[in-house]
Amino acid sequence: MKTLYVIKIGGNVIDNSANLHAFLEVFSALEGSKILVHGGGKMATQLSKTLGIEPKMVDGRRITDIETLRVVTMVYAGLINKNIVAQLQLHHCNAIGLTGADGNLVRAQKRPVKEIDYGYVGDLHETSVASKKLGALLEEQLVPVFSAITHDGNGQLLNTNADTVASAIAVAMSADYETSLVYCFEKKGVLADVNDDASLLAEIRSGDFEALKSEGIVADGMIPKLHNAFEAIKNGVKDVYIGKAGDLAELATQSFGTRLLS
């Protein structure tokens, strides 16, 4: 079975042009099939304010009304996505920029209104990703670059969490590829002491997760990240890595960040 990396980069990489350039150079050099998923960083918030649209956040999640949807689509699927694709072409990586609407590759459903109305936010399900079509792009030696904009199949674009998009793609592709899911952010990986890079946990197995939570070693925003990672492994993904974007070259020797295993 062929290997595939699904790699997600967050706003902390996108917001720093030097970090982004360095990351994309290393990403381009990774051998084998790969898919890149990116978030949006601070750019959408800055543009919203420039246009007189005050961003609304609840527990770190963006409320996406129709005006905000227009902004995030322009920024995520337009400026950021095409800038990444152009830089990858500079490094002879034949990238193709995509949203979920392109080729009907990632179809979502609008999040139901409960206690909070998140607006035009998309939730994914087990049949969201058109894995065979995506596989055909990989077979053509193309490198898909996804922004976190999806669609509902009825003409409506939706803003979707980039971590979730990456996980859904990795799970869907694992039927045909030995798939590794890689989350790149600003820390070395999962740390026993969040302020000490030397306290990196090189490997975590699913059976260790509850103990790490109870000991307070895994806390706050890392809890849902690891929960989603182990769900991906349970659903066919070979392994998940969480580490620093600048260390991506270490992926080739499986020494990148924290490796999560079943």
Q: In which band, very low, low, confident or very high, does the pLDDT at 9 lie, cut at 50, 70 and 90? A: very high
- Top pLDDT among 186 and 124 is at 124
3: enclosing H helix or E strand: strand 2-9
Asked if residue 39 belongs to a known ligand binding site, the reply is no
Distance CA 225, CA 219 (A): 10
* Over residues 23-46, mean pLDDT: 93
Specify the pLDDT at position 254: 86
Asked if residue 62 belongs to a known ligand binding site, the reply is yes
For the chain, helix, strand, coil in percent to 5 are 40, 25, 35
**132-190 residue pLDDT tens:** 999 999 999 999 999 999 999 999 999 999 999 999 999 999 999 999 999 998 889 99
179: enclosing H helix or E strand: strand 177-185
Asked if residue 107 belongs to a known ligand binding site, the reply is no
Specify the pLDDT at position 227: 87
Q: In which band, very low, low, confident or very high, does the pLDDT at 41 lie, cut at 50, 70 and 90? A: confident
Q: How does the average pLDDT of the chain come out, rounded?
A: 94
Q: Inform me whether the pLDDT recorded for 221 exceeds 80.
A: no
Q: Inform me whether the pLDDT recorded for 215 exceeds 90.
A: no
Asked if residue 40 belongs to a known ligand binding site, the reply is yes
* Over residues 77-96, mean pLDDT: 98
Instruction: Return the SS3 of 213.
Output: helix
